[in-house]
């Protein structure tokens, strides 16, 4: 089968053997925002036409491709939900020559009955072992997922990634910021600040005054802000000392691991292939 994680800005495809072995992998900057006029079938043929021609006739898609802006909108599956529930709720997409199905996202309610949604992360979680515990999937909208009895019991979203990007691009804080790799000393300083008393909205102004006062170098201030936001997120999302599985790319994984450690917790990092494994597992249940 072919498994595809098709997000807002990225397209990642895997050719998968019957036992889930990854036989081929490719990625392209063909997220749903880069596909015009609903040309998703054409984009799929463009990226994976050779695999289809070679006989692959089952394609499983996850991510924002199942949103209102995607190919076919799939309804969210309410939590609690496990891998069998996902496999039973796939949505078929008409496509000549192959069976195409979409993995639905998940919905939940937070403690105050405000809605929560995710798309794509459910497939990454399906690539884990569904062991009970807490899973963190950082990003523009970081997801903190509680697994219980082999299913997703619920989850909570933090708007940290987009907040970081907006503060950097559209406020006076960003004017001082340089590019470049994360300055870990400045990141840790931001983490420490997040643990201080005081609200995030107050701590943010410190990015400016520490810069004006010369004790935070312009090249380090983006890393400090990153530590401040991730520290606030992790401090709110996990109990001190908890164990957390982190599903993230090579850039974010070590940063979240530092934040979890600063909170006295234990972080387990997973490989970034969780989505491929999840697609294989859901597909195996759907098509067997």
Task: List residues near a copy of itself by CB under 8 A.
Answer: 110-112, 114-117, 141, 156-160, 162-163, 165-167, 169-173, 193, 196-202, 204-206, 208-210, 212-213, 229, 232-233, 235-237
Least distance from a copy of itself to the Cβ atom of residue 76, Å: 10
In the complex with a copy of itself, which residue's Cβ is closer, 140 or 271?
Answer: 140
Contact 95, 113 (CB under 8 A): no
Least distance from a copy of itself to the Cβ atom of residue 83, Å: 24
Q: Strand order in 106-109's β-sheet?
A: 77-78, 106-109, 115-118
Least distance from a copy of itself to the Cβ atom of residue 288, Å: 34
In the complex with a copy of itself, which residue's Cβ is closer, 156 or 273?
Answer: 156
In the complex with a copy of itself, which residue's Cβ is closer, 115 or 150?
Answer: 115
Q: How far apart are the C-alpha atoms of 140 and 255, rounded to whole Å?
A: 15
* 3-class DSSP assignment, residue 155: strand
Give the list of residues 6+ apart from residue 18 with CB closer than 8 angstroms, or none.
284
Q: Are strands 99-102 and 91-93 parallel, antiparallel or unpaired?
A: antiparallel
As a 3-state breakdown, the chain gives helix, strand, coil percent values, each rounded to 5, of 40, 25, 35
Least distance from a copy of itself to the Cβ atom of residue 179, Å: 18
In the complex with a copy of itself, which residue's Cβ is closer, 131 or 202?
Answer: 202
* 3-class DSSP assignment, residue 16: strand
Q: How far apart are the C-alpha atoms of 14 and 34, rounded to whole Å?
A: 20
Radius of gyration for the chain, computed over Cα atoms and rounded to the nearest angstrom = 20
Q: How far apart are the C-alpha atoms of 82 and 75, rounded to whole Å?
A: 16
In the complex with a copy of itself, which residue's Cβ is closer, 149 or 240?
Answer: 240
Least distance from a copy of itself to the Cβ atom of residue 109, Å: 10
Least distance from a copy of itself to the Cβ atom of residue 222, Å: 15
In the complex with a copy of itself, which residue's Cβ is closer, 96 or 111?
Answer: 111
């Amino acid at each position: 089968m072919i498994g595809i994680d098709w997000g807002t800005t990225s397209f990642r495809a895997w050719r998968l053997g019957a036992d889930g072995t990854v036989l081929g992998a490719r990625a392209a900057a063909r997220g749903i925002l880069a596909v015009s006029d609903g040309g998703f079938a054409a984009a799929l043929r463009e990226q994976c036409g050779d695999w289809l021609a070679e006989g692959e006739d089952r394609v499983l898609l996850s991510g924002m491709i199942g949103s209102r802006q995607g190919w076919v909108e799939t309804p969210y599956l309410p939590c609690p939900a496990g891998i069998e529930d996902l496999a039973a709720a796939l949505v078929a997409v008409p496509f000549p020559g192959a069976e195409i199905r979409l993995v639905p996202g998940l919905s939940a309610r937070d403690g105050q009955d405000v809605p929560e949604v995710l798309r794509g992360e459910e497939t990454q979680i399906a690539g884990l072992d569904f062991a009970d515990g807490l899973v963190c999937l950082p990003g523009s909208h970081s997801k903190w997922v509680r697994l219980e009895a082999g299913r997703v019991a619920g989850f909570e979203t933090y708007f940290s990634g987009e907040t970081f990007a907006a503060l950097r691009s559209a406020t006076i804080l960003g004017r001082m910021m340089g590019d470049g790799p994360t300055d870990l000393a400045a990141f840790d300083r931001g983490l420490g600040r997040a643990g201080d008393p005081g609200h995030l909205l107050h701590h943010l102004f410190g990015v400016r005054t520490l810069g004006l006062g010369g004790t935070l170098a312009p090249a380090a201030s983006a890393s400090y802000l990153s530590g401040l936001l991730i520290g606030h997120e992790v401090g709110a999302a996990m109990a001190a000392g908890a164990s957390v599985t982190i599903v993230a790319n090579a850039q974010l994984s070590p940063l979240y691991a530092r934040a979890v450690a600063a909170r006295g917790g234990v972080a387990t990092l997973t490989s970034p292939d969780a989505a491929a494994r999840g697609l294989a597992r859901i597909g195996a249940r759907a098509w067997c």
